[in-house]
Structure 1
Amino acid sequence: MYELDDSKNFHDLKPTETLLQMIVAPWVSRAIYVAAELGIADLLKNGSQSSDELAKATGVDARSLYRLLRTLASVGVFAEGNPGYFELTPLAACLQSDRSDSVRGYAIKSGQIWDWQPWGYLLNTIKTGKPVFKDIFGVEIFDYLTTHPEASKIYDQAMSSFSAKRIATIAAEYDFSSIHNLVEVGGGRGSLLASILKANPTIQGVLFDAPHVIEDARHLIASEGLLNRCELLAGDFFVSVPGGGNAYLLKHIIHDWDDECAIKILQNCRSVMPSNAKLLVVEMVIPQGNEPFFGKLLDLQVLLNYQGGCERTEAEYQTLFKAAGFKLTKIVPTSSPLSILEAVPV
């Protein structure tokens, strides 16, 4: 079914075959998850191994592992050279733990029940417009993660690995030279702020997030040698945000919330910003037209899991900013799917 040879590629398939591949794509995702969970790519880092050797190293059934890897090799994830021996491909290499562009953490997250089960209720969400995560698990997704430490760890690792390369593009591809005090609102463990501060030695930073998040962030900021340039403050961005910045940065925050909540967060930023300050919102801006864009898929996951969250178009951000007292001045695309929306107070 998944033929990856020079004579027949995805675009050469008949419509029925193409659609069938799309229909069974979740099977491939689950197979990738298992390989990621077992750490197969790490075991193949130094060269090919037999499925028997890999099974012994991972403590699984050898015949079943062979069948899994054979399937993944048929879609370009791993390759079977000599019979029964597997090696890395460029796709499989991205499942290695120690790569800067590793997606192993994201693949492991995709195999968790709290990540995949809501997709089974997509029809219900489309009918009602309501997220289903709370209906399934009894609490909102962030409350679930707070009370399930292992799930929270998997989620954080996935977001960190998924964001690592994108963080680098933000720090490198936006001009921060006019900023002297940068406040990141909802900045998590501080990876993005740390990257910006290291690339811009004259900037002072403030990392603001919930108390338990800030405690975790302290270790990262200290390990980067930035405690003397980065103040860590805890609080609730629905109540207030710290003052004193001439730029306020929010990455992947606004898309989690409906318009009312998003406007409240933005208004709290606006209330402490001087007139010459900048607002920097880092999100995936949905383009017009039919071209593929990861944000369009992510939008469905947001629809399933978050109360009113969504990925937005440029026009929708303009409306949001206006309601919160801002004017969108420009959008800076990056080499990742993320863009930086720059706005100023009005």
Structure 2
Amino acid sequence: MNDSLLDNSSLREKISNLFVGGIVTQIVYVAAKLGIPDLLASAPMTAEEIAAKTGAHPPTLVGILRALVALEVLGEMPDRRFALKPIGEFLRSNPGWRTQAILLGEEYFRAAGDLLHTALTGEPAFDHIFGMGFYEYFTRNEAAASRFNEVMTMTAPLRYSDVTAAFDFSRAKKLVDIGGGHGAMTSIVLRANSGLRAVLFDSPPVVEGARRRIEVEGLGARCEFVGGDFFKSVPAGGDAYLLSSVMVNWDDERALAILRNCRAAMTVGADLVIAEYAMLEGRNYATSTYVAAVAALAIQGSHARSQADYDTLLAKAGFRIEKITPLLYEPYVLLHARPV
């Protein structure tokens, strides 16, 4: 090894940070799982006080708390009490990022730990670790499914903040949201377009969760809830069909099946709107975006498609892309397509 590399403190720090990334994830997960940010929201506490309330091992907890201080999640006061810092506020139960930290630290972390399997086979490590696919796992694990749906709902306003500016939904009378989950995207579009009605389509158990959420928001009268399987068919009669964070979760064969079912349900004048994770050529993305794309491949078998990929996929399904608009939350884009 070049001795000058060992003498370069900046490079040593960078490689050290790369090495400990997985441990950082687990430290943040432990803090969230034990509810430490929630405990500290009202007042600072000593390590002993936190340990007493969480059941943690006091001497070990001190080391974890000081690591959280180094990560700027917590601060340590002169009297040895620990206090919440602004980053730590994200890990509270409200606004809800605690749920995401737990999801990342449990199922996602286990799958990402077997990334080598994905690299060697091209198959999701999640399937290899858990013995079933991502969505099948959530149908069998209610607590994990609840966390996943909460995270998707919570982050939707961030991911899709400018979707209604990127496409004019007011020209449609009936929107069909395919794979709409618990209805976060449906709600965003309905609130922005008072004359619009919607059909939220997803698997029957998911649809029931969506019904409860959308009714609480006061939008239930403008939304129909339909359970089914988008690999078999989707509801007909919409003026606009919406797919948000759906295509990325499936390989080309299954993504094509969904698109062809949409095409079969659509009239020639209907619009297809896809709000999706895409890596456009010629754009530089944040480091976290590239890392997240690899993680998504290992966990969900997700594919961060390019514009050329979407051109090919949509053409095979009987669509032509009218416009692609990059959204504020990278690397999401809005694709507007029409049947041909």
Structural mapping, 1:309-328, within 5 Å: 309-328=302-321
Figure out how many residues of one structure are paired with residues of the other and give that number.
Answer: 331
**1:205·1:230 contact (CA, 8 Å) conserved in 2?**
yes
Alignment RMSD = 2.0
Name the counterpart of 1:34. 30
Q: How does 1:4-153 map to 2 (within 5 A)?
A: 14-99=10-95, 102-112=96-106, 114-153=107-146
Aligned equivalent of 1:287: 280
In 1, the alpha carbon distance for the partners of 2:154 and 2:61 equals: 26
Distance in 1 between residues matched to 2:86 and 2:308, nearest whole Å? 38
Q: Secondary structure at the match of 1:14?
A: helix
Deviations 1:239-279 (A, max 9, x none): 11111111111111101111111111111111121222211
Inter-partner Cα distance in structure 1 for 2:102 and 2:83: 20
Aligned-residue identity in percent: 37
Shift of 1:16: 3.0
The alpha-carbon deviation at position 197 of structure 1 amounts to: 0.7
**What displacement does 1:93 show?**
1.3
Structure 1 range deviating more: 103-112 or 13-22:
13-22
SS in 2 for 1:243: coil
Q: Secondary structure at the match of 2:115?
A: helix
SS in 2 for 1:109: helix
Deviation at 1:290, TM superposition (A): 5.2
1:298 corresponds to which residue? 292
Distance 2:39 2:126 in 1: 35
Give the residue type in structure 1 aligned to 2:297.
Answer: L
* TM-score using structure 1 length: 0.89
Matched residue type, 2:105? G
Alpha-carbon distance in 1 for matches of 2:248, 2:68: 33
CA contact (8 A) 2:75 2:83 kept: yes
CA spacing shift, 1:315–1:83, aligned 2, 3 Å: farther
Relative to its length, the structure with more helix (as a share) is: 2
The answer to whether the 8 A contact 1:328-1:344 is kept is yes
Q: Is the 8 A contact 1:167 1:191 kept in 2?
A: no
Q: Show the counterpart of 1:254.
A: 247
Task: Give distance in 1, aligned partners of 2:285 and 2:190.
Answer: 35
Partner of 2:5: none
Give secondary structure in 1 for the equivalent of 2:169: coil
Cα pair 1:184 1:193 within 8 Å, conserved: yes
Name the counterpart of 1:221.
214
Structure 2 match to 1:340: 334
CA distance in 1, matches of 2:337, 2:136: 31
Secondary structure in 1 matching 2:221? coil
**Is the Cα–Cα contact under 8 Å of residues 286 and 296 in structure 1 kept in the other structure?**
no
Determine if the alignment matches structure 1 residue 241 to structure 2 residue 251: no
Structure 2 length as normaliser, TM-score?
0.90
Deviations 1:268-314 (A, max 9, x none): 1111212222111111221345542544223222322345x311112
Residues 162-184 of structure 1 deviation map (CA, whole Å, 9 limit, x = unaligned): 33432444346543222221110
Listed one character per residue, the Cα deviations across residues 25-44 of structure 1 (whole Å, up to 9, x for unaligned) are 11111000011112222222
Tell me how far apart the structure 2 counterparts of residues 292 and 18 of structure 1 sit (CA, whole Å). 16
Cα separation, 2, equivalents of 1:191 and 1:272: 23
Give yes or no for contact 2:46–2:82 (8 Å, CA) kept in 1: yes
Q: Encode CA deviations 1:74-115: one digit per residue, 9 max, x unaligned.
A: 12111112242122222111112222xx42211110121x32
Contact 2:112 2:125 in 1 (8 A): no
Structure 2 alignment gaps of length 5 or more:
1-7
User: CA 1:218–1:291 in structure 2 vs 1: closer, same or farther (change >3 Å)?
Assistant: closer
> Do 1:284 and 1:295's aligned partners in 2 also have CA atoms closer than 8 Å?
no
Cα distance in 2 between the residues matched to 1:318 and 1:173: 19
